[in-house]
Amino acid sequence: MTIPTIQHFAEYKTPFYYYDLELLDKTLRVAADEAARHGFHLHYALKANANARLLAVIRERGLGADCVSGNEVAAAIASGFRAGEIVYAGVGKSDEEIRLALGENIGCFNCESFPELEVINDIAGSLGKTARVSLRVNPNVDAHTHHYITTGIEENKFGFPLEQLERAARACLQLPRVEWRGIHFHVGSQIADMRVFQQLCAKANAIQEELLANGLAPTSVNFGGGLGIDYENPDEQPVPAFADYFQTFAKHFARLPGQQVHFEPGRAIAAQCGTLVARVLYVKEGTRKKFAILDAGMNDLIRPALYQARHRIENLTARPGDVEPYDVVGPVCESADCFGKDVLLPPTRRGDVIAIRSCGAYGEVMASRYNLRPLPGARFSND
Ligand code: LLP
């Protein structure tokens, strides 16, 4: 990631997200090439970042879209994603959202419950349409990641429990306005250990065999997202391990002849190209600590407060002197408003420019107006 010089930022009001669109494009090229090697289809997960400037670059590289709300479907369409390459997941799709997605003729609904299947069937009937549907299955694979972003173990709200899958597939075949496509998984996010994906393949193989034994052949399988990135050393591995990732599925998933294989990467596409840029408002000496108080807070980037996530923090204002530990905090009235404890920084002063790295995914899109603070701005490398 190329971060411009401090002079470049001097005129900009902080805080803002800075996006290196060249790195985004390079990441997309690698992801698309490695997927194409195996004939896999990619759908970018808009939930990671739906900034229109990023969406334009992502669409240019030919990815489809993975959406979780009617507004995301609308944003994908507005950015030029082809409707037939949009997939739409979520446990709580409203009637209005389903109507919108059917109206746009999206590629596939990833369905999560029996009542949802019926509602989709009814609304499709009333619109004179047929809905293509995949069934999201909860495969009970532990992603070994933060519990808020683990989605594939038994006790959470996502997907059909495994033992209901066959019944769900039969329900699809009976519903006149539903066309059953296959199965969908997503076991969690920020997964760096390829063994988790190997386990997912093994589960998918077993599930598929069982379905086939019962005369049910999925024509499509979707493995969701989840590929992790290197938050500690963003400059050493700016482009995530797409080759290993897709290779794992090519090797361990027993693909049926002619079967389509889909993925929904979010973080792996968008995270490393984004940096939250802030200024130091005050340096406060505590009893035992020094606090660097920024003009960015948890409303701008909530990941550290919500998931105890660690982002690399750098002082872009180069200063001579040895590094020392600072607690880097925001101005919001919550103790959780802390970006990092004991972060080693060079001697830091009021006005210094701070970069919080690897923020392109689940950063800007999760910003809020808490404390009635303004939303952060956005700047782009090609402005
Ligand atoms: N597909 C589905 C069905 C998902 O639920 C998700 C993410 C993705 C794809 C994209 O996953 P990714 O490739 O980004 O791992 N806000 C949290 C992450 C929440 C992920 C939710 N689902 C964070 O900041 O870490």
Choose the weakest-confidence range: 9-18, 81-90, 320-329, 348-357. 9-18
Beta strand extents in the chain (DSSP E only): 16-19, 41-45, 64-67, 86-88, 108-111, 131-138, 160-161, 178-184, 220-222, 260-263, 274-285, 290-294, 313-315, 324-329, 338-345, 353-356, 377-380
Is the C-beta atom of 46 inside 6 A of ligand 1? no
Which residue, judged by its Cα, is nearest atom 16 of ligand 1? 362
More confident site: 208 or 149: 208
Which residue, judged by its Cα, is nearest atom 6 of ligand 1? 225
Nearest-atom number in ligand 1 for the CA of 89 is 3
pLDDT surpassing 70 at residue 4: no
Nearest-atom number in ligand 1 for the CA of 362 is 24
Q: Can you give the pLDDT at residue 343? A: 98
Q: How many CB atoms lie within 10 A of CB 49?
A: 30
More confident site: 7 or 341: 341
| Mean pLDDT value across residues 302-323 | 93
Q: Which pair of structure tokens corresponds to residue 344? A: 């080693």
Residue 96's identity, in one-letter code, is E
Is the C-beta atom of 266 inside 6 A of ligand 1? yes
- Name the β-bridge partners of 293: 282, 329
Pocket test of ligand 1: the residue of 135, 186, 339 to mutate, having most ligand atoms within 8 Å of its CB, is 186
Q: How far apart are CA 277 and CA 294, in angstroms?
A: 10
Q: How far is CA 96 from CA 78, 80, 111, 125, 126, in A?
A: 18, 22, 16, 15, 13
Is the C-beta atom of 226 inside 6 A of ligand 1? yes
Q: Which pair of structure tokens corresponds to residue 5? A: 């010089």
pLDDT surpassing 70 at residue 345: yes
Q: Can you give the pLDDT at residue 145? A: 63
Q: Can you give the pLDDT at residue 198? A: 97
Distance of CA 303 to the CA centre of its chain: 13
More confident site: 300 or 10: 300
Q: Can you give the pLDDT at residue 141? A: 85
Q: Can you give the pLDDT at residue 147? A: 60
Q: How far apart are CA 89 and CA 67, in angstroms?
A: 6
pLDDT surpassing 70 at residue 151: no
What does the pLDDT look like over 114-142, one tens digit per residue? Answer: 999 999 999 999 999 999 999 999 888 87
What does the pLDDT look like over 266-299, one tens digit per residue? Answer: 999 999 999 999 999 999 999 999 999 999 999 9
pLDDT surpassing 60 at residue 152: no
Nearest-atom number in ligand 1 for the CA of 151 is 5
Q: How far apart are CA 379 and CA 279, in angstroms?
A: 15
Q: Can you give the pLDDT at residue 91? A: 93
Task: Delimit the domains of the chain by residue range.
Answer: 6-15+272-380, 22-269
Q: Can you give the pLDDT at residue 313? A: 98
Is the C-beta atom of 45 inside 6 A of ligand 1? yes
Residue 112's contacts (CB-CB under 8 Å, 6 or more residues apart) are 89, 90, 91, 136, 158, 159, 160
In this structure, the strands spanning 324-329 and 338-345 are antiparallel
Which residue, judged by its Cα, is nearest atom 5 of ligand 1? 186
Q: Can you give the pLDDT at residue 139? A: 87
Q: How far is the CA of 316 from the centre of ligand 1 (A)?
A: 30
Q: How far is the CA of 151 from the centre of ligand 1 (A)?
A: 9
- Using pLDDT thresholds of 50, 70 and 90, give the confidence band for residue 154: low
What does the pLDDT look like over 98-121, one tens digit per residue? Answer: 999 999 999 999 999 999 999 999
Q: How far is the CA of 289 from the centre of ligand 1 (A)?
A: 35
Which residue, judged by its Cα, is nearest atom 11 of ligand 1? 225
Q: Which pair of structure tokens corresponds to residue 237? A: 């591995």
> What sign has the CA pseudo-torsion 105, 46, 223, 152?
negative
Q: Can you give the pLDDT at residue 213? A: 97
Q: How far apart are CA 133 and CA 123, in angstroms?
A: 14
pLDDT surpassing 90 at residue 310: yes
Q: How far is the CA of 174 from the centre of ligand 1 (A)?
A: 32
Evaluate whether 133 touches 181 at the Cβ level (below 8 Å): yes
Nearest-atom number in ligand 1 for the CA of 303 is 24
Q: How far apart are CA 299 and CA 339, in angstroms?
A: 11
| Mean pLDDT value across residues 141-147 | 70
3-state DSSP helix/strand/coil percent for the chain, to nearest 5? 35, 25, 40
> What sign has the CA pseudo-torsion 97, 98, 103, 106?
positive
Q: Which pair of structure tokens corresponds to residue 255? A: 């693909």
Evaluate whether 307 touches 146 at the Cβ level (below 8 Å): yes
pLDDT surpassing 80 at residue 368: yes
Evaluate whether 185 touches 139 at the Cβ level (below 8 Å): yes
The topology (CATH level 3) of 6-15+272-380 is Lyase, Ornithine Decarboxylase; Chain A, domain 1 (2.40.37)
Evaluate whether 82 touches 104 at the Cβ level (below 8 Å): no
pLDDT surpassing 90 at residue 6: no
Q: How far is the CA of 221 from the centre of ligand 1 (A)?
A: 18
Q: How far is CA 15 from CA 24, 294, 364, in A?
A: 21, 9, 11
Is the C-beta atom of 21 inside 6 A of ligand 1? no
Q: How many CB atoms lie within 10 A of CB 61?
A: 17
Give the DSSP per-residue string, 160-192. EEGGGHHHHHHHHHHSTTEEEEEEE---BSSB-
What does the pLDDT look like over 188-206, one tens digit per residue? Answer: 999 999 999 999 999 999 9
Is the C-beta atom of 149 inside 6 A of ligand 1? yes
| Mean pLDDT value across residues 60-67 | 98
What does the pLDDT look like over 232-247, one tens digit per residue? Answer: 999 999 999 999 999 9
Report the SS3 class of residue 90: coil
Class of domain 22-269: alpha beta
Q: Can you give the pLDDT at residue 157? A: 84
Q: How far apart are CA 310 and CA 44, in angstroms?
A: 24
Q: How far is the CA of 172 from the centre of ligand 1 (A)?
A: 26
pLDDT surpassing 80 at residue 146: no
Return the closest-CA partner of residue 276 out of 294, 293, 288, 258: 294
- Name the β-bridge partners of 342: none
pLDDT surpassing 80 at residue 333: yes
Average pLDDT, the chain: 94
Q: How far is the CA of 224 from the centre of ligand 1 (A)?
A: 9
Nearest-atom number in ligand 1 for the CA of 361 is 24
Which residue, judged by its Cα, is nearest atom 8 of ligand 1? 225
pLDDT surpassing 80 at residue 224: yes
Q: How far is the CA of 114 from the centre of ligand 1 (A)?
A: 23
Run of H or E including 261: strand 260-263
Q: How many CB atoms lie within 10 A of CB 308?
A: 11
Is the C-beta atom of 362 inside 6 A of ligand 1? yes
Residues across the chain = 383
